[in-house]
Amino acid sequence: MRFVFAITFLSVALAWAAPQKDEFPPGALARLGATVAPAKNEPRTGEVNALLFIDDNTLLSCTNSGWTTWDVQKRQTRQPKPIGGLAFAAIRDAERLWIGSTKKLHAIEPPQSALAEPAQSWDSASDQVNVIANAPISGRFVFSAGDQKLTVLNTKTGKTTGTVELTSRPVTASLNCNGRVLAVVTRDGAARHYNFSANGSIDPIWTKRVARSDHGSAGFSPDGRLYAVASAGRIMILDSTTGRALLGLERRFGEGDVRCLTISGDGRLIASGSNGPEAVVRVWAFESGQELASFKGHLGDVNAVAFSPDGKILASGGSDRGVLLWKIPPGVSSTKSIPLNDAWDTLDSLDAAEAYKAMGSLLADPKAGVATLDAGFRGLAGEQKKMLRWIAELDHEDFRAREAARRALLKTGLRAAAYLTDPKRKLLGAEGETRVRLILEAFESQGLRQPEGGLFGEQLRAVRAVRVLESFGNAEAKAILEEAAKGAADLRLTREAKGALETWPTQR
């Protein structure tokens, strides 16, 4: 009897000691770390706050216990326990790894040296430095610095250059690729975009209402054309220039609010994680909104999602302490382009989808795109003269001339409305002004309303054209901007061109 008991005990012990084959949720490639169901009203030690792939085989996990790096292929940590203090956010550029901690922002050089002590740190008034954003091209960086402030840092010099004053506590912030546009989501339920200068001064562009929350997630597409922001149970994909909606990505019935999102490096995919207890990780095609995959396996809130640089793996982590790696389908591109010859005239469209196509057509062929924009800018003076002539001809004594001018202005749409409503415009006679009013009423009846932000017509086209030239980043594009910057100081095109040149990199 004792012999049988000993054999049984030995068998159980050997089975326990033998390597166990982990059972992963459907779609998962691996689990990094033990998963523990979070308990209510208890400190969440080890909770994952942020994830970042340093390279295809190295994943950084920021937790309430410090930061850890994982060897993705071996499924092993590269240190026996987390290092550093509490870690709330992480981001990287070519030279540094940035980690937001308790009252500190840390920089580690190079990014592959995540286990090393920080090379430099900056103080913050925030107990949790969980809002950070960078623009590697210009060297601009912002991080939370108190209840309603962001500190502006020049990463090239390591010196702070200013402070952004906000009206509510920021919950997430993003910079476009060159750092000229700052996007901030605040606790009061607003996503605001600003023209942003190195000293921290901001000039509002547009505001979009989102759900009030203490936790936010948002980001620009790699080319800066689109901006994605989480709002309760949906993700809004917006035209970054105007804030107009391109599409919405909705949760399914019974699912929790969207808690985090990320965009793949090639801009083809967007992924999100939701609140628990039955959290969902979902992947969509960014341009079309087509759902490509959904995964379940976390026992609590999903706080972070991150794509590997090659776009083949998605990592997710949250309040259950574990990190899951998911195999994701390849991205698809379904956006239809428009003829390049029509791109210039479509850049001022208030239809976010049409404007996205126009910018995409220009970006698809840099040489032809630069030539198209160069010709467009050179033709602006002629367009302006033509518009003013049409307005003057609304007072013409010949009916045919008046009618031709009216039709031409109607065809031009809101571009003409900017001239017709210009307070500096020379007034026409009584009949001419009546025709102006009727044209504006016709625009209104067609749904062509001047947006509240005031960015439409030529000004809107100028902003989008400059952003395309910034994306090209070549000598030909810079020459066009240098010429545009010589224009009248009060012109939007002049101001945009000067702003682009201020952040133009010395090398690309």
Question: How do residues 409-453 score in pLDDT, each as one tens digit?
Answer: 998 888 898 889 888 899 999 999 999 999 999 998 888 887 766
pLDDT over 70 percentage in the chain: 92
What is the per-residue pLDDT for 80?
82
CA distance 335 to 472: 20
CA distance 436 to 420: 7
Question: At residue 379, does pLDDT exceed 80?
Answer: yes
CA distance 127 to 489: 43
What is the per-residue pLDDT for 41?
62
Q: Which residues contact 257 (CB under 8 A, 6 or more apart)?
A: 211, 213, 230, 232, 233, 251, 274, 275
Range with lowest mean pLDDT among 3-7, 266-270, 330-334, 339-343: 3-7
Question: How do residues 113-171 score in pLDDT, each as one tens digit?
Answer: 877 788 899 999 999 999 999 998 889 999 999 899 999 999 989 999 999 999 999 99
What's the one-letter identity of residue 473?
G
Is the CB of residue 145 less than 8 Å from the CB of residue 184?
A: no
What's the one-letter identity of residue 309?
P
Is the CB of residue 298 less than 8 Å from the CB of residue 322?
A: yes
CA distance 386 to 391: 9
Mean pLDDT of 39-45: 67
Mean pLDDT of 187-206: 90
CA distances from 277 to 63, 255, 300, 302 (A): 19, 9, 5, 9
The helix (H) or strand (E) run that includes residue 361 is helix 352-364
Residue 177 corresponds to which tokens in the numbers above? Answer: 């690729």
CA distance 157 to 83: 27
What confidence category does residue 12 fall into, taking pLDDT thresholds of 50, 70 and 90? Answer: very low
What confidence category does residue 333 fall into, taking pLDDT thresholds of 50, 70 and 90? Answer: low
What is the per-residue pLDDT for 22?
63
- β-partners of residue 204 are 194
What is the per-residue pLDDT for 46?
85
What is the per-residue pLDDT for 408?
93
What is the per-residue pLDDT for 112?
80
What is the per-residue pLDDT for 148?
94
Q: What value does the mean pLDDT of the chain take?
A: 89
User: Can you state the angle between helices 352-364 and 366-378, rounded to 10 degrees?
Assistant: 120
Mean pLDDT of 459-477: 94
Question: At residue 56, does pLDDT exceed 80?
Answer: yes
CA distance 301 to 63: 14
What is the per-residue pLDDT for 122?
96
Whole-structure pTM value: 0.89
Question: How do residues 13-29 score in pLDDT, each as one tens digit?
Answer: 333 333 334 678 999 99
Residue 128 corresponds to which tokens in the numbers above? Answer: 């949790």
Question: How do residues 474-500 score in pLDDT, each as one tens digit?
Answer: 999 999 999 999 998 888 899 999 999
What confidence category does residue 269 fall into, taking pLDDT thresholds of 50, 70 and 90? Answer: very high
Residue 131 corresponds to which tokens in the numbers above? Answer: 């809002």
What's the one-letter identity of residue 62?
C
**Closest to 422 measured CA to CA, from 490, 348, 487, 484:** 490
- When computed from its CA atoms, the radius of gyration of the chain, rounded to whole angstroms, is 27
Sheet-wide strand order for 245-250: 218-220, 226-231, 234-239, 245-250
Query: Which option is the CATH number for 22-327: 2.130.10.10, 3.90.700.10, 3.40.50.300, 3.40.50.970?
Result: 2.130.10.10
What is the per-residue pLDDT for 276?
80
Tell whether the torsion through CA atoms of 465, 470, 476 and 482 is positive or negative: positive
- In the chain, what's the furthest Cα-to-Cα distance? 119
Residue 129, helix vs strand vs coil:
coil
**Per the omega criterion (within 30 degrees of 0), is the bond before 277 cis?**
yes
Look at 378 and 448; give whichever has higher pLDDT: 378
pLDDT over 90 percentage in the chain: 68
What's the one-letter identity of residue 11?
S
What confidence category does residue 38 fall into, taking pLDDT thresholds of 50, 70 and 90? Answer: confident
- Domain parsing of the chain, residue ranges: 22-327, 340-502
